[in-house]
Amino acid sequence: MPHDGIMVAAGSRPGNPLARILVELGAVPAWLDGLEGATLGEALIQVREVVDRTESLFAGGLRRFDTSGEYAADGAIGIVPWLRWKCRLSAGAAAERVGIARQLDHLPKTEEAFARGELSYQHVAVMARTAEHVGAAAVRKAEASLLKAAETMDPGQFVGVAKNFEHRVDAAGALAETNRAYERRYLHIGDPVDGLVRLDGLLDAEGGATVRTALNPFMKPGKADDRTAGQRLADALLELCKQRPASKNGDGAGPRPQLIIRATVETLAGIPGAPAGELEGGSTVPAETVQRLACDSAISRIIAKGELDFEITRASRSIPPATRRALAARDHHCVAQSCDRQPSWCDGHHRQFWTNGGPTALPNLVLLCRPHHRMVHEGGFQLRPAADGRWILIRPVAAHARSA
């Protein structure tokens, strides 16, 4: 048995509570088997509480063992390899627990709540990652309010709160993290094997929300529909791919999936300390992404009383089809030098952003493919007209300095 060695060592130490715990665990399966309904549900909640309390104990002990360097006595070259070997954890799980243990040393309120069983392991993992991103000192200042939010949210919801906090404290860092996530995107379509083709990939939060929004209309089950959720999703993807293009001319003037983003006016204006934009489903995006998407979007304003009031005093932020067609006829493709992506792959970019008074009118618009549009907003590149009528993308000064 995997715990025999532990039991012998534990039993050789009088009063060792772990020996008693391991013995009692042996009786738990039979006890659970005798429970049903609500009673079983309550028992499962207790099991999770035990697991989380145990993770708290593990984190405290791991921090001291890490500091001592005793893992070297077993021949391990580091604490993570030791955890993989001795505690049978994956590299990712081991590294996460080391990160949590080290960050909890600087987050006393979080450590105390974890020890009392008031926080789950996953909530603590979110707190630790936030401290890694913006610094434990910044998290300590807001620790009480973050913990209060964690009490009423599942870990997935709490991630949104933590990301919003990171954006308020360090918008540049949040943007850098978003850009790193974007660079990891990929989609792989395998070759047919036994009549099946495997798809796998990664998308950033914006890309994932866009795909989900586009697929949702095709996901509704029909009468006597016995398809699984996964089968309905697969069928929805095929239905979407079979749809006719909304614009026969390929000018990108047709409707697109309605991606809803909630953002404050301060976020749109890029004011320091503003919260991140929030996608449906809870994911967050930095202010620069909100501004890029707002280049060609319909904007609605929610006033203090909660009423929805469509703004009509300013020119439409969503480029009208006629203007979009004129833009495609003038620019033909993405205006970035050396790029020839067609209009249907492009966004209409406001050269002067509309929050700064830029109109949604042809002289203030250029076509940029989505990668180049992203470079301008999230990447900080500047557009400069070239002699041939195209536009040159100028690297941001900070990025140029780092590469020098």
Taking residues 325-347, what's their average pLDDT?
Answer: 85
Strand 382-385 and strand 391-394: the pairing is antiparallel
Which residues lie across from 200 on neighbouring strands? 188
Closest CA to 315 of 303, 289, 297: 297
Q: How far is CA 150 from CA 111, 119, 147, 156, 203, in A?
A: 14, 7, 5, 10, 27
Give dist(CA 184, CA 148) in Å, integer: 33
Please report, rounded to a whole number, the percentage of residues in the chain having pLDDT higher than 90: 43
Kindly indicate the confidence band of residue 251, based on its pLDDT and cuts at 50, 70 and 90. low
Taking residues 4-18, what's their average pLDDT?
Answer: 56
Please report, rounded to a whole number, the percentage of residues in the chain having pLDDT higher than 70: 85
In a domain? residue 221: no
Report the pLDDT value the prediction gives residue 90, as an integer from 0 to 100.
95
> Per the confidence metrics, is the pTM higher than 0.85?
no
Kindly indicate the confidence band of residue 302, based on its pLDDT and cuts at 50, 70 and 90. low
Tell whether the model's pLDDT for residue 404 goes beyond 60.
Answer: no
In a domain? residue 136: yes
Higher pLDDT, residue 232 or 245: 232
Ranges 73-77, 173-177, 239-243: which has the least confidence: 239-243
Report the pLDDT value the prediction gives residue 185, as an integer from 0 to 100.
95
pLDDT digits (tens, 9 = 90+) for 41-54: 999 999 999 999 99
Helix (H/G/I), strand (E/B), else coil: 295:
helix
Phi then psi for 297, rounded to 5 degrees? Answer: -145, 155
Tell whether the model's pLDDT for residue 111 goes beyond 90.
Answer: yes
Report the pLDDT value the prediction gives residue 257, as an integer from 0 to 100.
59
Ranges 10-14, 175-179, 294-298: which has the least confidence: 10-14
Report the pLDDT value the prediction gives residue 8, as an integer from 0 to 100.
42
Report the pLDDT value the prediction gives residue 100, as an integer from 0 to 100.
97
In a domain? residue 24: no
In a domain? residue 7: no
In a domain? residue 213: no
In a domain? residue 140: yes
Kindly indicate the confidence band of residue 4, based on its pLDDT and cuts at 50, 70 and 90. very low
Answer whether 66's CB lies under 8 Å from 81's CB: no
Q: For the chain, how many structural domains are there in total?
A: 1
Ranges 149-153, 207-211, 298-302: which has the least confidence: 298-302
Q: Which domain holds residue 106?
A: 35-158
Give dist(CA 112, CA 143) in Å, integer: 12
What are the DSSP calls for 67-122, one per residue?
A: HHTGGGGGT-SSHHHHHHHHS---HHHHHHHHHHHHHHTT-HHHHHHHHTT-S-HH
In a domain? residue 96: yes
Give dist(CA 176, CA 257) in Å, integer: 27
In a domain? residue 305: no
Give the per-residue SS3 of 349-385: EECCCHHHCCCCCHHHEEEEEHHHHHHHHCCCCEEEE
